[in-house]
Structure 1
Amino acid sequence: MDELSPLRLWTMRIAFVAVALVILFFHLLPIDTQPVSLFTPDLLPPLATIDPAEARLRELLDQGSNRILVGPDLLIAFAFAWSLRRPEYVPSLLLALLFLLSDLLLQRPPGLWALLALLACENLKGRSRTLRDATFGAEWIAVAVLLTGILIANRVVLSLMLVPPPHLRLGLLELGITILVYPVVVFVTRSLMGVRRAAPGELDALGGRA
């Protein structure tokens, strides 16, 4: 399909919306809730009165009852990758609506994270020509800095508004995982979705020169 055709433009925009909705769908699945204990204390005898092997098994199976699964923020990772490669595929209004939807669905203070993420994407769009000629390492560092900035700014604003910020340890863990999986997101974006940087001097789908 011609990279400059309106059909290609709108197909890729719809594809990004589909990717975002799939990511949000999996975020909403109850995989981060506490696992159900296989043993009910009220129905079982005390550990001291049962076989030591069974007691050890019960102890091991109940150790994970307070664990919470933390994964990468794939929505912003894909938004960054697409903003750097084909800004016309992810216009500001589309990103704003998707980020706001994620705030509402994930029960974050509506608008704050969405605004910070949108500003970061617009920053990358403005630097797309510079980063196009740089190595992937430079892009990776730029993405890591912006992700860290979003985390810090979000916590500062929430604190100023007297809103309890998310747990710092979980936020740092999500940040680290997101940074680590960004190369995988870029690989999927380029190799599987066909979203590649425009060559120098090439016209984008909106008629602007890359």
Structure 2
Amino acid sequence: MANTSPARIWTMRLAFPALALLVMFFHLLPLETEPRFWAPPDLLMLLAMAWSLRRPDFVPALSIGLVMLLADLLFQRPPGLLALLTVLGCGFLKARAAPHRESTFASEWLAVALTVTGISTLNRLVLVLFGVQQAPLGLTVIQAVMTIAAYPLAVWASQSILGVRKLSPAEAETLVSRR
């Protein structure tokens, strides 16, 4: 059973940026000196989406936006674009979180897959529109596919290690009534 106490909510709200900073740290470590022919999944986006669907109260939009903006700056991406698209995507998923409480994991995964595809497509289109140099299309597609494929692992890690589980209808009712 998930804990809906204010202390637990604030602890997890602080755990999200801390975990994101850890992911960014390991992403920036120079472990390989040669360019790769594949792109790894976007773990920050996966973490934000998994938590947005399972416990929307743990990841406010401001937290997601600031984490993704910092990632844009550190990873030398156009500042704010992917942050905005991720906040919008997570907001879309949060709006669908209540219907997914009763649905299967496959429908949740499909919603995330469509959102990741939409974010990748919109990001690519905006960059093309403004003439920004970007990675080859193949790498963008590989990263989107890897991100979608890694979603079950992100959910498993969030659930088993961090305890981020879906709210039961009773817990959701308790959380809503407290606001």
Q: TM-score, normalised by structure 2?
A: 0.92
CA distance in structure 1 between the aligned counterparts of 2:30 and 2:119, rounded to whole angstroms: 26
Aligned to 1:99: 68
Q: Which structure has greater helix proportion? A: 2
- Whether the 8 Å CA contact 1:198–1:204 is kept in 2: the answer is no
Q: How does 1:79-98 map to 2 (within 5 A)?
A: 79-98=48-67
Aligned to 1:160: 129
Provide closer, same or farther for how the CA distance between residues 109 and 133 of structure 1 changes in structure 2, counting only shifts above 3 A: same
- Whether the 8 Å CA contact 1:112–1:154 is kept in 2: the answer is yes
User: Of the candidates 127, 150, 173, which is equivalent to residue 181 of structure 1?
Assistant: 150
What is the CA-CA distance between 1:162 and the residue it aligns to?
Answer: 1.5
Aligned to 1:133: 102
Amino acid at match of 1:194: G
* Structure 1 residue 18 corresponds to structure 2 residue 6: no
- Whether the 8 Å CA contact 2:4–2:171 is kept in 1: the answer is no
- Whether the 8 Å CA contact 1:32–1:69 is kept in 2: the answer is no
The alignment covers a number of residue pairs equal to: 177
5+ residue gaps, structure 1, are: 35-65
- Whether the 8 Å CA contact 1:3–1:204 is kept in 2: the answer is no
Q: How does 1:19-168 map to 2 (within 5 A)?
A: 19-34=19-34, 67-68=36-37, 70-168=39-137
CA distance in structure 2 between the aligned counterparts of 1:169 and 1:177, rounded to whole angstroms: 12
Aligned to 1:52: none
Provide closer, same or farther for how the CA distance between residues 68 and 25 of structure 1 changes in structure 2, counting only shifts above 3 A: farther
Provide closer, same or farther for how the CA distance between residues 176 and 138 of structure 1 changes in structure 2, counting only shifts above 3 A: same
CA distance in structure 2 between the aligned counterparts of 1:7 and 1:132, rounded to whole angstroms: 23
What is the CA-CA distance between 1:196 and the residue it aligns to?
Answer: 0.9
What is the CA-CA distance between 1:22 and the residue it aligns to?
Answer: 0.9
What is the CA-CA distance between 1:157 and the residue it aligns to?
Answer: 0.7
5+ residue gaps, structure 2, are: none
In angstroms, what is the RMSD of aligned CA positions? 1.9
What is the CA-CA distance between 1:160 and the residue it aligns to?
Answer: 1.1
CA distance in structure 2 between the aligned counterparts of 1:78 and 1:139, rounded to whole angstroms: 14
What is the CA-CA distance between 1:2 and the residue it aligns to?
Answer: 7.9
Amino acid at match of 1:9: I
- Whether the 8 Å CA contact 2:46–2:151 is kept in 1: the answer is yes
Which is worse superposed, 169-178 or 119-128? 169-178
CA distance in structure 2 between the aligned counterparts of 1:151 and 1:196, rounded to whole angstroms: 27
Aligned to 1:49: none
What is the CA-CA distance between 1:166 and the residue it aligns to?
Answer: 2.3
List structure 1 runs of 4+ shifted beyond 3 angstroms.
Answer: 66-69
Aligned to 2:171: 202
Identity %: 49
What is the CA-CA distance between 1:116 and the residue it aligns to?
Answer: 0.3
CA offsets 1:70-116 (integer angstroms, 9 cap, x no match): 21111110110100111111001111100100000000000001000
Provide closer, same or farther for how the CA distance between residues 110 and 13 of structure 1 changes in structure 2, counting only shifts above 3 A: same
Tell me which structure has the larger Cα radius of gyration: 1
CA offsets 1:22-79 (integer angstroms, 9 cap, x no match): 1111111123431xxxxxxxxxxxxxxxxxxxxxxxxxxxxxxx54452111111011
